[in-house]
Chain A
Amino acid sequence: MEVALMIPCYIDVFYPQVGIATLELLERLGVDVVYPREQTCCGQPMANSGCYEEARATEEHCARVFGSFKYIVTPSGSCTHHIRNKFTAGADSPEKDNLTRNTYDLVEFLHDVLKVREFPWATFEHKVALHTSCSAIRGLNMASMTERVHDPVFSKPKALLSGVPGLQLVEFDRVDECCGFGGTFSATEEAVAAKMGYDKLAFMQKASPDYIVSSDMSCLMHLQGCARRQKQDIPFLHIAEILNGV
């Protein structure tokens, strides 16, 4: 099976190890991974700011680069949500159509396409607080939403992590309240964003986790920034790093 690997711009620059873990994990699972070298960004930062004109060329470039693949996988619920549900700035084309239909967040791809449930190589004897992004929960339906009180409870990232030997998930309060990142929001409303991050950390820390883990590195970039400013040295990991074996 051939898969095009999409590495979000902020992972490329700040968290290359997450890209490497994603690549290695997919290869370990027997996937033939292609990394299109002309890739840049999905256009979300501009579109999310209302700047559709400025998002157009980037979205069209993204569609050209990835538009011919049957599977496009990216370790980001946020980018996947943008591509699948918000990719309206660029002109319509068969490539765009293909991209929006065939892009998967890594967790979705593992859970729904490859249907992997066991990660015996990835033993991780630690307590983990799992944060799932709002894009992943309410945009991609990767986990049940607490507001929908009659829906069955489920979480795809949790289902994957429960296949990691030794790993113990801890429960914390307000589990699907937004962490405060919100893309451009993290800068335009920095004070509120930071307070939301501080609060999220406080709820997690009450459960005494050894690690904070997410399938979205952008939330973690924000939470890690909050934690370091508060002199908390708790480590942060992307779910790909755990599933691939740290």
Chain B
Amino acid sequence: MSAVDQAKNAEAFLEDTVHEERLDKLLWMGRMRRDAAARQVPEWEELRTLASEIKEHTLSNLSEHLVEFEANATANGVTVHWARDAHEHNQIVYDLLTERNIPTLIKAKSMLTEECELRPFLEARDIRVIETDLGERIQQLDDQPPSHITGPCIHKTTKDVADLFAKNYGSDPNNEDPAYLAGVMRDNTRPEILNAHAGMTGANFVVAETGAIIVVTNEGNADLAANTPPLHIVSVGIEKLVPNMESLAVFIRLLTRSATGESITQYTSTFRGPRKGAAMHVVLVDNGRSARLGMEKFWPSLKCIRCAACMNTCPVYRRSGGLSYGSTYMGPIGIIMMPTADIRKYSELPFASTLNGSCTNVCPVKIDIHEQIYAWREVMEEKGQIQTVKKQAMKVADKVLSSPQLYQIATASVSTALKILPHFAIYNRLNAWGKHRDVPEAASETFHQWYPNHRLKGNEVLGL
């Protein structure tokens, strides 16, 4: 499979200025709200440190905590399943449904099921899947993956949604009122929820000590999906464990403040076991996580609590749109997670960053995101994933910039210098610099040429 060309996808997104400017403004507002929320908590930085340390502890002792969770959840009446990869996860869910002759699954939002491509798996086997999260349902109707991990359809305008609903539900295409559109969705999904025999949720956290599943939402749809049908299936990545309820509190304080700037969401629900007469199944999914845990440089991305603060602050994400990354997880955190799943397909993602470091500063669990992006670039070179043109240009730069003689010849006239410097500006996509920017104007002499005519000292340090 060829590499996702994020730059090209981003360029296409930028051509539509209405969507780009709206996305940029909206997400920057999210960043501002995050700042305001953090300002209200004097111990914010201590909380981040604590959260990071709890995650590092838990990940370092993951096997014990997983077994502890399994024992406690089982004691609560939950059936725990283990899935090595996406296929095993999907098969377990499929079997749970077919054993009970259930034709329809209602779902709350879960990035893990996106990662596992559960929906196409089930649909190919004649099981209907209904997303109940408003944004996720919009993306399902439009046959697009989520473009943002907490706001799946954040790149769409209300007009886009009005058109989509008109096409799918026959509603008024000219009514862009969000309350009206939410009503259209409610009228269409509520009967599905009431008639469903199986509901699925993800999990924001799972607590080893109590076997509890924690789901954080605003719409309440996860509670409906979990509490209405007689079967509740929970899909959860093994990195979502926290040791106990006390440590959970640290994350609850950080999660929503980082995500939306709210101090807490409408619903923070704890599911500890099946309701009377109902069944609850938890599928613990690895799908590459334990392999990543073994990567000396890249395991810290497993600390992620999926708040999307890094996306909201990322100047590249805000101007590219989440779909440009062609991946389940996008933006800064996506850049460092996705290559662990497929190094070839996501080999260009580490270059979709200016390494400005804002993502690292907002991360509530202190993942050194921009340092990892930098490190991934080195890996892409080692693994031979850097484009040949770029590689050749860097070889020329290597020769010229490591030799004072060649450097001075190359820079002696600005016309030759332009071919070498800034080499990084012209090596790729012929004259990429000049497409939207003027090239720097030529100086009549370089500093190096000016110097000996104006200062007496020769300063030959090496005597080369």
Contact = CB atoms under 8 A, between A and B. Distances in A.
Interface of A: 7, 9-17, 19-20, 23, 34-41, 43, 45-46, 48-58, 60-61, 64-65, 68, 86, 134, 137-139, 145-150, 174, 176-178, 180-199, 221-222, 224-226, 228-229
B404 A39 contact: yes
B236 interface: no
B342 to A, nearest CB: 18
A11 B447 contact: yes
Contact of A12 (B10, B360, B411, B461): B411
Interface stretch (B105-113, B147-155, B295-303, B424-432): B424-432
Nearest to A146: B35
A38 B460 contact: yes
Given A10-B421, A14-B440, A15-B443, A57 B351 contact: no
B315 A34 contact: no
A54 B395 contact: yes
Nearest to A16: B447
Contacts of B428: 187-188
Interface stretch (B39-47, B72-80, B200-208, B245-253): B39-47
Contacts of A149: 35, 38-39, 44
Contact of B353 (A46, A65, A185, A199): A185
B464 interface: yes
Nearest to A42: B401
A93 B274 CA distance: 64
Contacts of B395: 54
Interface string B25-54: 000100000010011001011000000000
B402 A225 contact: no
22 contacts: A9-B401, A39-B404, A40-B401, A45-B401, A46-B394, A46-B397, A49-B377, A50-B380, A54-B394, A56-B398, A58-B402, A61-B402, A146-B35, A178-B354, A182-B353, A184-B351, A189-B351, A190-B436, A191-B11, A191-B14, A222-B437, A225-B439
Contact of A228 (B354, B401, B438): B438
B443 A13 contact: yes
Interface in B441-459: 441-443, 445-448, 450-452, 454-455, 457-459
B358 A50 contact: no
Nearest to B358: A147
Interface string B366-395: 000000001011111100001000110011
Given A54-B398, A177-B315, A182-B356, A187 B425 contact: yes
A79 to B, nearest CB: 12
A68 to B, nearest CB: 8
Contact of B10 (A35, A137, A189): A189
- 7 smallest beta-carbon distances between A and B, as pairs: A182-B354, A50-B377, A225-B437, A194-B436, A57-B402, A147-B361, A138-B357
A15 B417 CA distance: 13
A45 B14 contact: no
Contact of A13 (B39, B44, B45, B446): B446
Contacts of A150: 38-39, 42, 44-45
A67 B421 CA distance: 24
A221 to B, nearest CB: 5
Nearest to B416: A13
Interface string B6-27: 1100110010000010001000
Contacts of A138: 356-358, 360-361
Interface SS, B side: helix
A57 B464 CA distance: 16
A191 B414 CA distance: 26
A46 B398 contact: yes
B333 interface: no
B462 interface: yes
Nearest to A217: B440
- Residue of B352, B374, B421 with most chain A CB atoms under a 10 A cut-off: B421
Nearest to A133: B356
A137 B357 CA distance: 9
Q: Which of B14, B361, B411, B427 has the most CB of A within 10 A?
A: B361
Contacts of A182: 353-356
Interface of B: 6-7, 10-11, 14, 20, 24, 28, 35, 38-39, 42, 44-45, 313, 315-316, 319-320, 350-358, 360-362, 374, 376-381, 386, 390-391, 394-395, 397-398, 400-404, 407, 411, 414, 417, 421-429, 432-433, 435-443, 445-448, 450-452, 454-455, 457-462, 464
B355 A188 contact: no
A18 to B, nearest CB: 8
B30 to A, nearest CB: 13
Max count, chain A CB within 10 A of own CB: residue among B390, B395, B397, B460 = B397
Given A12-B446, A16-B447, A229-B438, 11 more contacts: A16-B450, A37-B459, A41-B401, A54-B395, A184-B424, A186-B424, A187-B425, A192-B319, A196-B315, A221-B440, A229-B437
Given A58-B401, A195-B14, A9 B460 contact: no
A180 B424 contact: no
Given A50-B350, A177-B315, A199-B24, A37 B448 contact: yes
Contacts of A226: 436-437
Contacts of B407: 9, 40-41
Given A43-B401, A191-B436, A12 B448 contact: yes
A10 B377 CA distance: 23
B429 A187 contact: yes
Given A37-B404, A199-B24, A16 B446 contact: yes
A7 B450 CA distance: 12
Contacts of A228: 437-438
Contacts of B394: 45-46, 49, 51, 54
B398 A178 contact: no
A176 B354 CA distance: 13
A46 B390 CA distance: 10
Taking each of B320, B352, B353, B356, which has the highest tally of chain A beta carbons within 10 Å of its own beta carbon? Answer: B356
A48 B355 contact: yes
Given A13-B443, A148-B361, A191 B7 contact: yes
A177 B31 CA distance: 11
Contacts of B355: 48, 134, 182-183, 185
Nearest to A184: B424
Contacts of B44: 149-150
A68 B461 CA distance: 9
A134 B357 contact: yes
